[in-house]
Amino acid sequence: ETGVTQSPTHLIKTRGQQVTLRCSSQSGHNTVSWYQQALGQGPQFIFQYYREEENGRGNFPPRFSGLQFPNYSSELNVNALELDDSALYLCASSLGGGISGADTQYFGPGTRLTVL
C-alpha cells in the first residue's frame, strides 16, 4: 500500500507567477484535502475534494483553486503568486467525505513553495 505522495518537493517562483502542485492519494482513498503551513505555524485548511467535487473551502481567495481526477489524485493551483504564499503545502487523503465528513486524514511530505 503506497502512502500519500506530493510533487514537486521544492519550488521557487516569483511574484505574479502561477504554480501547480500535485498529490497522489493513498490507495483506496477518495478524498483529498489541501493545507497551507506557514513557517512556525499550524496548517490552515484550503479546501477538500471528494469524488471530484469541491467539498468545503477555508478562508483562501479564489486564486487558490483545485482539481481532483477520476483516480482521486489532485492538483492545487495558485495564480498571481504573492510573497505571503511562501509556505509548505500539505496534501492529505482519507476515505469518506460528503455529508458525514472525512475519516482520518493521512498527510504527504509536502511541497515547499518559495515566492521571491
Partner 1 sequence: GNSVTQMEGPVTLSEEAFLTINCTYTATGYPSLFWYVQYPGEGLQLLLKATKADDKGSNKGFEATYRKETTSFHLEKGSVQVSDSAVYFCALRGAAGNKLTFGGGTRVLVKP
- Contacts to partner 1 by CB under 8 A: 4, 6, 31, 33, 35, 40-45, 48, 50, 55-56, 58, 90, 92, 97, 99, 101-102, 104-110
66 forms beta bridges with 76
Which of 16, 101 has the CB closer to partner 1? Answer: 101
Output 12 or 80, the one with its CB closest to partner 1.
Answer: 12
Q: Which of 25, 71, 66 is nearest to 48 (CA)?
A: 66
Q: What is the CA radius of gyration of the chain?
A: 13
Closest CA to 7 of 23, 27, 19: 23
CB 43 → partner 1: shortest distance, Å? 5
